[in-house]
Amino acid sequence: MTNRLGALQIAVVGHTNTGKTSLLRTLTRDVNFGEVADAPGTTKRVQGAQVMLEGTPVMMLFDTPGIEDSMGVLDYLEQLSRLGDRLDGPERLELFLQGPEASGRYEQEARVLGKLLHCQAGLYVIDVREPVLAKHKDELVILASCGRPLLPILNFVASSASRAAQWRDTLSRLGLHTCVEFDSVSPPLDGEETLYRTLSVVLPSHQAILSGLQLQSVNQKVARRVAGLTLIAGLLIDLAALRTPSSTVPELLEQAIVLQQAVVRQREQACVQALLLLFQFREDDYLAHPLPLTEGGLSVDVFNPEALKDIAAHTGGGVGAGMIAGAVADVLSAGLTLGTGMLIGAVAGGAALGVGRFSTRMLSHIRGFRELTVADEILQFVRLRQGQLLEALERRGHASVAKIDVAEGTTQIKSSLTALPKPLLSARAHPEWSAVGGRFQDSSARQKAILALVELG
Ligand SMILES: Nc1nc2c(ncn2[C@@H]2O[C@H](COP(=O)(O)OP(=O)(O)OP(=O)(O)O)[C@@H](O)[C@H]2O)c(=O)[nH]1
Ligand SMILES: [Mg+2]
């Protein structure tokens, strides 16, 4: 495979306002490339963008101005044909490019044709919502006369006004039997691979580069998904493991709740930013909705089974695992009817739960041990909405201008609330797993839990 820059040069051409610049943005994953607007004549000059294969530039894509007056150019070329003697397409175009009209009336069109003549192939971008008109047919005749393979890209196929079938028919009649369906705003998941694979059919001389790009696109997609799931898993572990010391004094409890809410929100926002960066989108592409954290969203949760096991671990020999299991069962069933506040009192007082089975040492550990944790509902909600964000990013083209909005009501979560996945239950017992808690300590156990969450998808 040749790795020389410029070994493969492709011009992106077509009628004005069909989405040429948008296609380049999506293929290069560069939201800042060129200028995109819903108006003809947005791109005025040819602009190139490198495409890298394993860190090496292997292809240049050139954005070109839209062709506006194809009928005028074709008439003019036909006049030139009458002057010259048996000129073929490219020769006739060279004559046009050297003439006065190429820097006058048809300057825009000359830029496009000049570029295509010096590239190995062209991507011909079509807005399939448009009916096929004479100007389009003329445009294709002129482009074909450059003597370069053309791959039509049927853009806007997702629109209900699509006339893709009519376009396919017209293209076939002109000898263009291979084309690719695309949508730069919401490209098909395998759109990029399909484009490179099909381009290698019309450009077999560069098959090695194009197959490499196709494979790279598949690999990058998988790598981005795994990286995205890892970011989300890290967030969830941080939140599940988070414990904020609290107090039975109402004012102090209030302060602890406010502090914990801020930590949770910031941590989620950090994950959103990391996901946007991973997929190369801008921060303001995302319509942020703050987490609906009410006081009830954060529960006083000393009675989480995992948390109790943790207490056991830290109290040394005084409390046996079996006793803890019993305590958990009793505490949980009592919790359903008594409510958390009552429960604390109940345990402390010992009466309602038959605490005869517990040593006073253990009770003293439970008594006054109050910490805030993030409620299951909030963890489920964050998991769902980060998952939705990941999917939206995977399906989004870099030409999109609408904001990503994945806000969902918590009601949806409540109705479909399932048990927390195991790694999150484990995290409950490990406050040191929370990178946003005060006791953070990375460990292989934490990494394993992240990996296990990633595997759950
Ligand atoms: N829904 C949808 N909109 C698109 C798509 N491609 C482009 N657009 C929109 O179409 C308009 C024109 O896009 P551009 O990329 O500027 O088109 P262009 O062909 O470069 O235009 P000129 O430079 O003026 O010739 C913009 O509003 C884009 O957001 C697409 O696949 N789907
Ligand atoms: Mg443009």
Q: State which of 13, 20, 21, 22 you would mutate to test the pocket of ligand 1, scoring each by most atoms of that ligand within 8 A of its C-beta.
A: 22
**Amino acid identity, position 75:** D
Res. 347 pLDDT band, cuts 50 70 90: very low
For the cut 60, the answer to whether the pLDDT of residue 415 exceeds it is: no
Residues 6+ apart with CB under 8 A from 104: none
> Strands 298-300, 56-63: parallel, antiparallel or unpaired by DSSP?
unpaired
pTM, whole model, 2 decimals?
Answer: 0.74
Q: Tokens in use for 405?
A: 């909005």
What digits encode the pLDDT tens for the residues 33-55? Answer: 999 989 888 999 999 999 999 98
pLDDT value at residue 243: 84
- Tell whether ligand 1 has an atom less than 6 A from the beta carbon of residue 161: no
- Tens of pLDDT, residue by residue over 266-288, are 898 899 999 999 988 887 777 76
pLDDT value at 303 more than 70: no
Is residue 213 over pLDDT 70?
Answer: yes
From residue 454, give the alpha-carbon distance in Å to each of 102, 265, 271: 57, 22, 15
Q: Does ligand 1 have an atom closer than 6 angstroms to the CB of 345?
A: no
Which residues neighbour ligand 2 (ion) by CB within 5 Å?
20-21, 42-43
pLDDT > 60? residue 366: no
Nearest CA, atom 3, ligand 1: 185
In angstroms, the CA 42 to CA 40 distance is 6
Superfamily for domain range 8-202: P-loop containing nucleotide triphosphate hydrolases (3.40.50.300)
Q: Would you say the CB of residue 22 lies under 6 angstroms from ligand 1?
A: yes
Helix axes 207-241, 250-278, angle to 10 degrees: 180
Is the per-residue pLDDT at 143 higher than 50? Answer: yes
Q: Which residue has the tokens 């399932």?
A: 418
pLDDT of residue 318: 36
| CA 21 / ligand 1 centre spacing (Å) | 7
> Exposed, middle or buried by CB within 10 Å (0-12, 13-18, 19+), for 164?
middle
Domain ranges of the chain: 8-202, 226-456
Q: 419 pLDDT band (50/70/90 cuts)?
A: confident
Query: Cβ distance 390 to 353 under 8 Å?
Result: no
Atom of ligand 1 nearest to the CA of 183: 31
**Phi then psi for 232, rounded to 5 degrees?**
-65, -40
Distance CA 110, CA 65 (A): 10
Question: CA 381 to CA 268: how far, in whole Å?
Answer: 11
Alpha carbon distance 328, 320 (integer Å): 12
More confident residue, 172 or 295: 172
- Could you tell me the pLDDT band of residue 187, with boundaries at 50, 70 and 90? confident
| Order of all β-strands in the sheet with 298-300 | 244-245, 371-374, 298-300
Sheet of strand 121-127, all strands in order from the earlier edge strand to the far edge: 47-53, 56-63, 8-14, 121-127, 150-155, 180-181
How far lies 50's CA from each of 16, 59, 93, 189, in Å? 23, 6, 27, 22
CA 339 to centroid of ligand 1, rounded, Å: 58
**H-run or E-run covering 414:** helix 410-415
Which atom of ligand 1 lies closest to the CA of 35? Answer: 16
Tell me how far CA of residue 319 lies from CA of 8, 311, 325, 427, in angstroms: 72, 9, 11, 22
Mean pLDDT of 24-32: 89
Question: Using CA atoms, how far apart are residues 208 and 213, in angstroms rounded to an integer?
Answer: 9
